[in-house]
């Protein structure tokens, strides 16, 4: 009897079903999805940390924007006031202020106040006399322009920033342009050329349009198309500022940030530590309820047209209280008033009356000054804000604000013979 061989039956458990993924592949997919979710969560949390923790944002910013040596730092928490100036400078003319915007940043309450100040406002320029606000920059640069605002309008100025026409154009181009809603046609056959003294006619149509740097400059500079010229174009400049913020927040702009930061680093004229700029921008974006923008203009009755003795068309306050009341509402610092830290001012330079001048300035800005006198020497170069360790009390916030307003060094030491918690020694570089 012959042996029969049983047929071979395949083991179907070893055959993979084409409709069912391998367990290993499923685990990979699940792990990848989990990783993506974790990455997304970490990214969102990181953005929150960056926006709300100034120390983290400043440290990361310093990698790209190196802090300039010798500038007064900002901790990202204190309230600050920044003066932003657009400069006009054609051919061989000296630069002067074309537009001026005062920006008050209050991080504790995420509140931003802005004040547009007309360039033709008639003011007293320290060391020069009466003149238009626009020429303060021409005479003494950003320091004198800021000092004029402090002395004449009692606006505390922590930092200043200025941008020329050329730098403005490059900045907008680095962003890839800005989309702006033009409220009315801007036709001007007498628009001044940037080079020479000829006219370069412009015609900017109304409606939404994407502007490059050159067109954006024409938009924010144009004034002849308005009946009130300088006073009316401020609203177009405000609209452009809002469009600028939207553009910066747009994901399409994010890849351009390195170019934007590089342009800012090269083009800004400022005493702001560059690595503090991103935190300032974050505070602008985080402002609750947006930005409160106020104006000094004829429409709200704060100024009126007039003529100077030498025949210049100028703007003057309608009365002695209207502008001071607005400035107090926008820029008074309640924490300084709450601390009410005694401040003694001493003259450490060879300039007669420097301490009395500084005391009057600081008193007008809301600091609790208690007198003026002479320091132990007249050889101080930089102004010093000294927290007198021989006395008690706090006053650290007041000291930091004084440091920025006076562009001074902040030190802690004993000042013999002085009972004030803070002693300001005015140096030869004041103001």
Q: Write down the pLDDT at residue 376.
A: 92
Query: What helix, strand, coil percent values describe the chain, rounded to 5?
Result: 40, 25, 40
Distance CA 386, CA 342 (A): 12
Of 395 and 226, more confident:
395
Tokens of 425: 């020694």
| Cβ atoms 415, 388 nearer than 8 A | yes
Of 223 and 110, more confident:
110
Distance CA 275, CA 77 (A): 15
Backbone φ, ψ for residue 116 (5° rounding): -90, 125
Distance CA 244, CA 238 (A): 10
Least confident of 88-102, 122-136, 394-408: 88-102
Question: For residue 238, what are the CA distances in angstroms to 294, 382, 388?
Answer: 11, 37, 44
Least confident of 11-25, 142-156, 214-228: 11-25
**pLDDT tens-digit profile of 178-204?**
998 888 888 888 787 777 677 888 888
Of 299 and 312, more confident:
312
Which secondary-structure segment (H or E) carries 273?
none
The architecture CATH gives domain 334-426: 2-Layer Sandwich (3.30)
pLDDT at 15 over 80: no
What is the domain partition of the chain in residue ranges?
23-64, 80-331, 334-426
pLDDT at 52 over 90: no
Measured over all CA atoms, what is the biggest interatomic distance in the chain, rounded to whole angstroms?
139
Q: Write down the pLDDT at residue 4.
A: 47
Q: What is the fold, at CATH topology level, of the domain defined by 80-331?
A: Aminopeptidase (3.40.630)
> How many Cα neighbours within 13 Å face the side chain of 211?
27
**pLDDT tens-digit profile of 159-175?**
999 988 888 899 999 99
Backbone φ, ψ for residue 99 (5° rounding): -135, 150
**pLDDT tens-digit profile of 134-166?**
999 999 999 999 999 999 999 999 999 998 888
Over residues 310-335, mean pLDDT: 93
Q: Write down the pLDDT at residue 132.
A: 95
Distance CA 94, CA 312 (A): 19
Residues above pLDDT 90, as percent of the chain: 46
> What band does 399 get if pLDDT is binned at 50, 70 and 90?
very high
Q: Strands, DSSP E only, in 243-339?
A: 269-270, 291-295, 303-307, 313-317
């Amino acid at each position: 009897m012959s042996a029969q061989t049983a047929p071979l039956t395949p083991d179907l458990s070893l055959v993979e079903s084409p409709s069912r993924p391998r367990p290993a592949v499923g685990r990979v997919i699940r792990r990848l999805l989990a990783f993506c979710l974790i990455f997304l969560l970490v990214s969102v949390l990181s953005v929150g940390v960056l926006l709300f923790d100034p120390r983290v944002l400043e440290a990361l910013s310093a990698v790209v924007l190196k802090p300039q040596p010798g500038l007064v730092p900002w901790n990202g928490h204190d309230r600050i006031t920044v003066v932003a100036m657009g400069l006009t400078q054609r051919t061989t003319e000296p630069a002067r202020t074309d537009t001026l915007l005062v920006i008050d940043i209050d991080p504790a309450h995420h509140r931003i106040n802005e004040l547009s100040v007309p360039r033709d406002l008639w003011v007293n320029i320290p060391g020069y006399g009466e003149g238009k606000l626009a020429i303060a920059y021409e005479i003494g640069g950003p320091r004198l322009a800021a000092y004029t605002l402090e002395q004449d309008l009692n606006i505390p100025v922590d930092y200043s920033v200025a941008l020329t026409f050329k730098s403005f154009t490059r900045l907008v181009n680095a962003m890839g342009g800005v989309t702006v809603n033009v409220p009315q046609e801007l036709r001007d056959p007498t628009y001044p050329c940037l080079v020479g003294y000829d006219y370069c006619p412009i015609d900017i149509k109304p409606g939404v349009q994407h502007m490059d740097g050159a067109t954006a400059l024409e938009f924010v500079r144009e004034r002849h198309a308005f009946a009130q010229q300088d006073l009316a174009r401020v609203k177009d400049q405000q609209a452009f500022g809002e469009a600028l913020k939207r553009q910066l927040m747009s994901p399409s702009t994010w890849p351009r940030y390195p170019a934007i930061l590089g342009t800012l680093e090269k083009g800004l004229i400022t005493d702001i530590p560059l690595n503090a700029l991103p935190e300032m921008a974050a505070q602008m974006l985080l402002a609750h309820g947006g930005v409160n923008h106020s104006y000094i203009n004829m429409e709200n009755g704060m100024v009126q047209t007039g003529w100077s003795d030498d025949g210049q068309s100028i703007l003057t306050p309608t009365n002695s209280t209207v502008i001071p009341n607005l400035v107090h509402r926008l820029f008074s610092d309640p924490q300084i008033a709450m601390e009410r830290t005694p401040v003694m001012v001493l003259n450490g330079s060879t300039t007669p009356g420097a301490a009395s001048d500084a005391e009057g300035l600081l008193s007008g800005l809301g600091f609790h000054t208690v007198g003026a006198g002479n320091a132990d020497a007249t050889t101080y170069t930089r102004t010093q804000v000294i927290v007198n360790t021989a006395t008690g009390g706090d006053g650290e916030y007041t000291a930091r604000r004084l440091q920025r307003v006076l562009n001074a060094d902040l030190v802690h030491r004993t000042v013999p013979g002085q009972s004030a918690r803070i002693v300001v020694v005015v140096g030869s570089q004041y103001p």
